[in-house]
Amino acid sequence: MSKGTVNKVIIVGRLGQDPEIRYTQDGSAVATFSVATNESWKTKEGEIQERTEWIKCTAFGPSVEKYIQPYIKKGTQVYVEGSLRTDKWQDKEGNDRYSTGVVVNNYGGLQIVGSGSSSGADMSAGMNQDSQPSNMGDSQDYDDDNLPF
């Protein structure tokens, strides 16, 4: 294990199509989906240019059936946190091929943001319950003197 290295990716974008759900031989769920991110800039001539980047994402485990399958759909704006992984395979002609994508963190690695989905706008609290206080949704007034920062 190398010390002092980090492989962390954060993406905020929209799904281009519904996630594809598959199952491994041992019955574990796997979801694959692509997230589009946009970048825009102004040229020297003052023209606005835009580029869309499509990022392949893969999620594993119980969160696929519990949160992704019922709530994440085409057009949903999501926050994705995970790590880069490059897969290598050979095509029919024997040439090496590579594909790089994001493996979504199991806990809190996928959250709905914005208003991209009307069916599961509050799904993020369930997927990230280990890192959010249970009273996050409560409308309480907090005394500044009691805050830990």
Structure confidence at residue 102 (pLDDT): 97
Structure confidence at residue 82 (pLDDT): 97
87, two tokens: 């897969």
What is the spatial distance between Cα 127 and Cα 46, in angstroms, rounded to a whole number?
Answer: 43
- Based on C-alpha coordinates, what's the Rg of the chain? 19
89, two tokens: 């395979």
Alpha helix (H) ranges present in 7-113?
62-63, 69-71
Structure confidence at residue 108 (pLDDT): 83
Alpha helix (H) ranges present in 17-99?
62-63, 69-71
Domains of the chain by range and CATH? 9-40+49-128 (2.40.50.140)
Ordered mean pLDDT values, 10 residues apiece, the chain (149 residues): 88 96 95 96 95 96 91 95 95 95 92 63 39 35 46
Structure confidence at residue 145 (pLDDT): 52
pTM higher than the cut 0.75: no
What is the spatial distance between Cα 35 and Cα 111, in angstroms, rounded to a whole number?
Answer: 13
The total number of residues written for the chain in this structure: 149
